[in-house]
Amino acid sequence: MTDSAPSLSPLIHLVDDDAAVREGLALLISTVGLRVQTWADPQSFMAGFERASVGAIVLDVRMPGISGLTVLEQLLAQGVDQPVILLTGHGTVEMCRRAFKTGAAEFLEKPVDDEVLIEALQNAVRQHVRSRERHQGDQQARERYAQLSAREREVLGLIVEGLTNKEIGRALELSPRTVETHRANLFAKLGAESLAQLIRRYAALVDAAS
């Protein structure tokens, strides 16, 4: 997990066995400023693509050797978090149902109109960026929470429950001044700027710890 990934523009992985389709779609996608990396077959894609990159994967369903649906299943099994858009030349209702059930972000029919494809890609990228950010936020919160002392955690727990300093002091048999000190310390350690932000970020962690 590198912090540098979000700073680069999102990368779209395009997997299709047909060179003309790859070229056409890659050019189209690049016109909206997204970077595209093309792969001629699922095997080399699975072996070589940058899993940390932010972006989305576009998969053709009908490819020699292995179906796009199978590739999707394998990606999910490996914990790949990029959203997957499936492209098919002859989609059936059953195939569509299976794709969404497996976890496809989008299921598009070939030939695909530029606006439809680009909108789907932008949605997928937004979704991925948000998911990565959320994931990173969670990670940061956990790290900061771990720095708190036992007493500070107790105080944080009671703050999240909505108690005032006085009430906390009574509950923990501390003077209100000491509570004030702990409170200031934990705000600093957790990097919280307001009570609302503190509660929004750490309530879940407190609940999980207690």
Partner 1 sequence: MLPAWRRLLPRHALHLPSLLLWVAVACIGCGWLVVDRLQQLHAAFETDARIVHRLLSQRVVQHDAIMATLALLQPAAAVDDLHNAASPLPRLTSVYPQILAVLQRSAHSDWPPALQAELTAAEATSRRTGHAAMAGLNLPAGRFYLVLAGTPASYALHIDLRATIPTDEWPMDMATSPVRVTLEQSGTAFVVQPGQADRGSGIRTYDFHKLLAAPSQPLDVVARRTVGLHELPWWRMLGWCLLTAALWAAGRALWRQRVARQRAEELLRLGQVARLNTLGELAAGMAHELNQPLTALLSSTQAAQRLLADDPPDLDTAQTAMTRAVEQARRASTVVGRLRRLVERPDLAGQAQPLALPTAVQDVLHLLEPELAQRGVVPEVLAAADLPPVLAEPVALQQIIHNLLMNALQALEQVPPAERQLRLSTERAESGRVTLSVRDHGPGIPPEARQHLFEPFYTTRTGGLGLGLTLCESLAQAMGAQLALAPEATPPSAAQRGAEFVLTLQAAPPTDDR
Window of 42-50, 73-81, 84-92, 122-130 that interacts with partner 1 by CB under 8 A: 84-92
Report the chain's C-alpha Rg in angstroms. Answer: 24
Binding to partner 1 (CB under 8 A): which residues in 143-162? none
- Residue 207 in the binding site for partner 1 (CB under 8 A): no
CB of 114 to partner 1, least distance (A): 4
3-state secondary structure of 192: coil
From candidates 8, 9, 23, 74, binder to partner 1 by CB under 8 A: 23
Assign residue 95 a region: left if phi > 0, alpha if psi is -120 to 50, beta otherwise?
alpha
- Residue 76 in the binding site for partner 1 (CB under 8 A): no
From candidates 11, 15, 25, 192, binder to partner 1 by CB under 8 A: 25
CB atoms within 10 A of CB 32: 12
Q: Is residue 44 a contact partner of residue 52, using CB atoms and an 8 Å limit?
A: no
- Residue 138 in the binding site for partner 1 (CB under 8 A): no
CB of 118 to partner 1, least distance (A): 9
Farthest-apart Cα atoms in the chain, separation: 75
From candidates 5, 21, 46, 171, binder to partner 1 by CB under 8 A: 21
From candidates 9, 52, 89, 142, binder to partner 1 by CB under 8 A: 89
Listed in sequence order, the residues at least 6 apart from 142 whose beta carbon sits closer than 8 Å to its beta carbon are 205
Listed in sequence order, the residues at least 6 apart from 16 whose beta carbon sits closer than 8 Å to its beta carbon are 22, 25, 38, 40, 58, 60, 63, 87
CB of 110 to partner 1, least distance (A): 4
- Residue 47 in the binding site for partner 1 (CB under 8 A): no
Q: Give me the amino acid identity at 132.
A: R
Residues that bind partner 1 (CB under 8 A): 18, 20-21, 23-25, 27-28, 30-32, 62, 87, 89-90, 110-114, 117
